[in-house]
Structure 1
């Protein structure tokens, strides 16, 4: 056994090195950058901090408590956890988090990140090995060119994408085997895993595979259709096996804001020169960019030279070379064409992470380059010319790219690219002229290429930066203590007054309102905006509440930090460490009985106070909750008023960005709490002062703000700084309101009288009772979702969407027992499809195995029979 294992290690030392070398290199980078446990830093930057880590925390809690994965109340008032899991968390590798404590998640995910990048290098090297049938050091280096490309270095904080990058080389290897009639299982299973791990990025892989198939070198028309049938059948089989993830994920994603198709109108983003310059040595990796033409393309300068050598290699059929070139051209043109980019991104806008499918281009280029590299060592007529032409063409392309680029290209990157290209060319020419032996020349070339890749990856990770763990997670234990004290049964809603990261409340697994994620329901985002909360394309945060919405959404506790200065109507209860817990003075419920007229609620006004007033009127027949006050004309500095539209709306054109471009004076017209709401798309920063002291600052537009209690005639100032680059006229809209305390008390009484009394609360099931004075609608502060099934007194009733966003149930007068149960829409159908898919997969694999075994037995029997016959004749 020991001999066999040692023999295996010797035979596959380069393949093993293809994983271990990048793995240890990444661990060295982790040590240098003081990643936990080597310091207090984390690789989890950008949205990995603001979204993915909180979602992992929720997933970890579900795994460790053996909770169902269908639904979670730990964000967004409740969300389809299975849909979110399918988008962010479905990789089997993520199951490792179940073995660790929550405070170790940053460390675990940072090193899981290291493993995934090493696996990217390994699978690429495996593909190169299978293409050439020989293990060499060069395949390790070209594998590293893939795993340490600027695309993976820049975008690897999207940790849930990496499985797709890992599996892509295996899918291509399986595809080629299948086209050659050597088996379908590798392709089918690898594509299934990719679809399972991340359906969104796998869509790009699938789109690429269609192009790859159409441009594949089929042997005649008949073979084209035979291959086409295999390709279609086994691709669909892969999708069927992953259907339990794909079907619910698709239904969930179709409820998001980005589900609406909106094809771009522009023909081009910029110039192809700008795009090609992203190949240059020394270019910084992009982690995010609002410019959709930005891209990460660097994968080593040797890959460009060898790619050109491949195109000039007569050893490879011209038609094959042309087809490969066409694939690259299609991808390259797509990078600069908004319509094609929109299609590649699953008919979605790119939202700050441009050209996510560039990994396809990089790997195709590297596969061509590796073939070119393997062929360049043959000393034959024309090789020197091929190398010189490749170097010359590359020089001309670089020159053309620099000349045509709209954005200025860093001169250092040009010199570095030309310089390293000259060095590689010199090594190749010295070998062809027999000044260097093959081993020495290949060694120099590979070591130089590896050094280039390693230096670029290290500088890239340094450029990306890290996250200081204690800076963001120092309150984790204190908030756990607060949960234990105030939320023993896990049914109480509470949220942070402000989070250090956007989804921090989800990190603490609070039953909160905050949700920032790609699976956030578009209708809920819209209604939260109408109600006065801060929202984005795929987010709504607990910023903009009023006493009415706090009661409506059953928000019972707020957690304040020392730096939180926003006024609150909640009452202080306790201090835990540096945190202060505030309690809602009103008793709240997750559900309330309302009049049927709630179906006529007018929630489309741009004034959130009107929206809340109409809600109170339609639900309970109570009017006048908020009284709108007059808005004084603002003072302007460094900008000019183009138009006064009345009702507090102004069109303003910026000239110079100042801290006080637009200054509104808020004068209380009566004593009491004053609320404001302003929209200003060009706002850079806002400062609110009262009594000469700053009470709020930062990104404050687009949400209701409580200025606290003000005496009649007292003033406050809202100072808005406009964006420096904002030169076109923009609209500023200010609304001021006072809340009538007497009306609020009356409204609270009406809500309390018909509140839902909860008796059971689980992640996917809620039970309780309600006493209705009149027939109407029972409102639940739970986002409407087709996965919810409602039972009134044991009988299932049809659910409805209140305000197109919240769950509602028609109920008659009297006392009723209500049960809500959740199962992700499409899960049952997807599970059936997956079951059928797996049965087909194993049945076909079993039949194939049996057929091969019988064929082998027949051959063996035939050989033995022939031997016996020969013996008889003798």
Structure 2
């Protein structure tokens, strides 16, 4: 009977620890009218621009093409996905999203976010119950503070990291069992789960386990026991890594070819900011949008528990040696929040791009754990201690006011000070007079405190509307499905509109766009070299030419109807301008999207001249580089360009100095108070395509219009881009207007070129002679036949070269070669050949073997210990 009541009470405690955060945050989301409660959504920053598209991609993996788990041509021009998925998608909780298709995915994001809030609270409550640090319903104060800590609120949009809050308490529970009971099984299992779920956050937790072991060693009897425990800990950690090897080994290799290439090699011993600024994070609601790209660690856990954590170091009932180690651990955390080498250590050698101090959730956990050790039911704070804390708190809030932190208002500091007073009053009350009422008071204070902080912080963030996401997604999915019904083969799709650079993953089609931290560097390097917007973690095919369209196999194109506007609302945000697509054959049409087919698109592999093996590095001229690649493939002299410089018919200057040469000239306003423009006019003498090149410096200092219409151009790029100005417009004047946005503008690489259509058609005809006729294709394999004509001794592909690709020609394995620093190409003889490409993630088989062996050894050893 007693055991039954004990289990029932524990069940109620765990249920409450789950429901309180869910109810608090659910109420806030409903108040903000976030889907499904209204017209807004939780999508913001990376969640709206990246993760939601990955979630759609995950649904497609599970429901339609499992092979995309390993490789996808929706990732830029194509790339490995096991390492990418290990970072973004391996949380088992993501399976919930299967039930939320298309535009309803935002509701799935809401459900998943609330679930993680609840599970984080429940996991911490479980830890407190199992360690007996706390008991009864007062546990809800600690679990709620943990679930709604400052890091969680600031990073709820980074859903890929949130499982760490759920799994961390379980790992620490397992580690405490290992240290004090000699049972490593729980620790091994949960740490392995964390490594598989998200290796990045697992790295941070692994570092923290070292600190926890140091903290707990003084509680052990003697040095022999401590050494043995340390050995078991190290062996258990290695066992966890071994069990997770099936994902870790392929992922580590993938990182060495992508994200890992950006690891810092020069480390400066310096403070990253004035450490006193961290005091601002001890105030409720200490977060806003500007804290996302750069700011201080988000560590708020409520005043009562912060006071409890501080009191740990003055509690004489705890061994002085353990308090000393805890103090050193705390100092280590604080230094890590501002000292560059330690910051890099926690982030695996790379400075975070946005969202700094991503490990601060561990510090929040640490402080709540210390508070739980001190704030026992019998604890009562005496007035000297309360007075000292009040004075220190007042000083802290005064300093934060003097620092003039933009994310803090006077009302926030006063509310924080109010919670300090209320918390001190509660701690000075004797619980024995009314235990249940006292525990309820503690829970209420903490819930109100962290709830107020959460609501204040999130109110400062703007979100994507449900209509903005839903209408766009619905149209994109519909257009993509139409193309699949029209053509079941392999093809790439180019488009002139964009919600995010991961639209191909959202719409389930192949393209050349992608935004992800595991993008292989050769892809943005190549895309930038041919005139496309690109960066370290993204590519976007917005500035194609007939040459690049053909080379990269863009068989279909999508353009927005009615300039992407419906009922006065911009449904399809424009990102490019391609008049040369207007004469292509229309194949499908939705309410907002027109799809066309290009007869010039080359297949994924085709016969070409061996000259491509000798072509050197990219030139600084994107059109010149495109021409060299295409001519080399066709076996024509690369010094016979496909693009010819076109002179302007006239140039007019308004409020700037005149100049004989436009490109490379810095124009300055003559009267700073008046508008300044440079107008370039030319009349196409042929019906060929005409292109404008534009250096990256221009976008920041001048706006561009074409024939009095603002130009649609994706504005984030670091290389010279190519813009299609005219096609089939012989004799019709074209006017390009640059309007200075600043006092001066450098017209970097501003030139107009004409595509020599006849020369292009001749080279294209040569390359179309020997296409790979695909017989079967999956995300990880392509099989077909090719008939190679005389003069062609290379099989060129537009598959990015990667160690995981293997090729067989007529049943014989052939080693691919990398050409133009990105694509696979193979030597081949004339005649008809059977060709097979297949992809296997490097180290996957070894990872499976290590995982199986580690599981077997761990099971055997733990079984013998029972």
Q: Say which is worse superposed, 324-333 or 830-839, in terms of deviation.
A: 324-333
Q: Hey, what does 1:598 align to over in structure 2?
A: 612
- Of residues 331, 336, 345, the one that matches 1:334 is 336
Output the TM-score relative to the length of structure 2: 0.89
* Paired residue secondary structure (1:815): strand
Superposed CA offset, 1:238-291 (max 9, x none)? 111111111111111222255233345472222112122122123235586332
CA contact (8 A) 2:519 2:538 kept: yes
2:772 matches 1:756 = yes
The equivalent of 2:16 in structure 1 is 17
CA spacing shift, 1:238–1:756, aligned 2, 3 Å: same
Deviations 1:491-528 (A, max 9, x none): 23213321122212220101111111112111111111
CA pair 63-361 structure 1, distance change in 2 beyond 3 A: same
Structure 2, unaligned runs of 5 or more: 564-573
Of the candidates 648, 657, 668, which is equivalent to residue 663 of structure 2?
648
CA distance 1:196–1:653, change in 2 (3 Å) = farther
Question: How far apart, CA to CA, are the structure 1 residues paired with 2:696 and 2:649?
Answer: 17
Correspondent of 1:447 among 428, 444, 456? 444
Matches within 5 A, 1:467-482: 467-482=464-479
Q: Is the 8 A contact 2:284 2:452 kept in 1?
A: no
For 2:672 and 2:185, how far apart are their aligned partners in 1? 61
Q: Is the contact made by 1:505 and 1:512 (CA closer than 8 Å) also made in structure 2? A: yes
| SS of match in other structure, 1:549 | helix
Partner of 1:464: 461
Could you tell me which residue of structure 1 aligns to residue 796 of structure 2? 779
Are residues 1:370 and 2:387 paired? no
5 Å-filtered alignment, 1:301-450, equals 301-374=303-376, 377-378=378-379, 383-403=382-402, 410-431=409-430, 440-450=437-447
Q: Is residue 652–residue 679 contact of structure 2 (8 Å, CA) maintained in 1?
A: yes
Is 1:515 the counterpart of 2:510? The answer is no
Q: Does 1:811 align with 2:828?
A: yes
- Residue number in structure 2 paired with 1:267: 270
Contact 2:691/2:753, CA 8 A, preserved across alignment = yes
Q: Distance in 2 between matches of 1:282 and 1:450?
A: 14
CA contact (8 A) 2:285 2:452 kept: no
Residues 430 and 721 of structure 1, relative CA distance in 2, 3 Å threshold: farther
Say if 2:817 is the partner of 1:800.
yes
Q: Which residue of 1 aligns with 2:504?
A: 505
Partner of 2:759: 743
Contact 2:305 2:371 in 1 (8 A): yes
Alignment partner, residue 832 of structure 1: 849
SS at 1:350 equivalent: coil
Listed as ranges, the gaps of 5+ residues in structure 1 are: 850-874
Aligned residues: 837
Say if 2:32 is the partner of 1:27: no
> Is structure 2 residue 504 aligned with structure 1 residue 489?
no
Q: Does the CA contact (< 8 Å) of 2:493 and 2:557 recur in 1? A: yes
- State the match for 1:872 in structure 2: none
- Native 8 Å contact 1:679 1:733 kept in 2: yes
* CA distance in structure 2 between the aligned counterparts of 1:712 and 1:244, rounded to whole angstroms: 63
Equivalent-residue separation in structure 2 for 1:32 and 1:283 (angstroms): 21
The answer as to 2:735 corresponding to 1:716 is yes
Q: Of 782, 807, 813, which residue of structure 2 is paired with 1:766?
A: 782
- Aligned counterpart, 1:46: 45
For residue 606 of structure 2, give the secondary structure of its aligned residue in structure 1.
strand
8 A contact 1:295–1:358 mirrored in 2: yes
**Contact 1:685–1:699, Cα closer than 8 Å, also in 2:** no
Helix, strand or coil: the match of 2:799? strand
Preserved CA contact (<8 Å) 1:125 1:142: yes
Give the distance between the partners of 1:408 and 1:24, measured in 2 at CA: 26
Query: 1:756 and 1:366, CA in 2 relative to 1: closer, same or farther beyond 3 A?
Result: same
Q: Give the distance between the partners of 1:632 and 1:194, measured in 2 at CA.
A: 64
8 Å Cα contact 1:779/1:808 also seen in 2: yes
Residue 439 of structure 1 deviates from its aligned partner by 5.1
Map 1:168-183 onto structure 2 (within 5 A).
168-183=168-183
Deviation at 1:217, TM superposition (A): 2.9
In the alignment, the residues of structure 2 paired with residue 343 and residue 723 of structure 1 have an alpha-carbon distance, to the nearest angstrom, of: 41
> 2:578 maps to which residue?
567
Tell me how far apart the structure 2 counterparts of residues 676 and 700 of structure 1 sit (CA, whole Å): 17
Question: What SS does the corresponding residue of 1:180 show, helix, strand or coil?
Answer: helix
Find the counterpart in structure 2 of residue 613 from structure 1: 627
Match of residue 139 from structure 2: 139
Q: More displaced, 732-741 or 607-616?
A: 732-741
Mean Cα deviation higher: 242-251 or 585-594: 585-594
Give distance in 2, aligned partners of 1:652 and 1:177: 71
Match of 1:531? 530
The 3 A distance-change label for structure 1 pair 636 and 112 is farther
For the aligned residue pairs, the C-alpha RMSD in angstroms reads 3.3
Scaled by the length of structure 1, the TM-score of the pair is: 0.88
Distance 2:622 2:679 in 1: 19
Pair 1:706-2:714 in alignment: no
